[in-house]
Structure formats: structure tokens, C-alpha cells
């Protein structure tokens, strides 16, 4: 039971991190300059290309942990 809850919690976190990946990197992937920065004039934010690596890796890690936990729960 605890593994199942932890697995679904990790899957939910993976979804949230995936949303952050999309909002902070994927939408702006064509805007980054040679320094890895993108300026959004409407929100006046400077977005960094390194955000894609950070949010993307957190997404993959959470989904991998969720899959492992949920597969182990089904086998028992």
C-alpha cells in the first residue's frame, strides 16, 4: 500500500516537473541565444537554457521511480 501511494505521488511530481519543463524551456527552445538566455518581453523574465536540463532530469527521475514502485506493487 505504501509503495503504491509513493509511486502515484512520484508520478504526480513527475507531471508537475514536466509542466515546469514545458513552461520554462520547451516553449522557448527557439528563442535562446548563443549564451543560453532568452528574454521574454511580456513577463520581463530572462529564461535560461539550463532550466531544460534541470526540469527535464527531475521529470525523468520521478517517472522512473514511479514506474519501479508501481511495477513492484503489481508483482506482489
Q: Is residue 70 left, alpha or beta, with left meaning phi > 0 and alpha meaning psi from -120 to 50?
A: alpha
Q: What pLDDT, in 10s, does the model give residues 25-35? A: 999 889 999 99
> By the 8 A CB rule, do 6 and 69 touch?
yes
**Looking at the predicted structure, is the pLDDT value of residue 74 above 80?**
no
Confidence of residue 40 (pLDDT cuts 50, 70, 90): confident
Q: 47 lies in which domain range?
A: 2-75
Q: Is residue 22 left, alpha or beta, with left meaning phi > 0 and alpha meaning psi from -120 to 50?
A: alpha
Q: What pLDDT, in 10s, does the model give residues 1-18? A: 888 999 999 999 999 999
The mean pLDDT value of the chain amounts to 92
How many structural domains is the chain composed of?
A: 1
Please count the residues of the chain. Answer: 76
Amino acid at each position: 500500500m505504501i509503495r503504491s501511494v509513493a509511486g502515484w505521488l512520484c508520478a504526480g511530481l513527475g507531471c508537475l516537473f514536466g509542466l515546469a519543463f514545458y513552461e520554462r524551456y520547451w516553449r522557448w527552445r527557439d528563442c535562446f541565444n548563443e549564451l543560453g538566455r532568452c528574454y521574454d518581453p511580456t513577463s520581463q523574465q530572462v529564461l535560461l537554457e539550463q532550466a531544460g536540463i534541470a526540469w527535464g532530469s527531475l521529470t525523468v527521475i520521478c517517472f522512473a521511480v514511479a514506474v519501479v514502485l508501481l511495477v513492484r506493487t503489481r508483482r506482489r
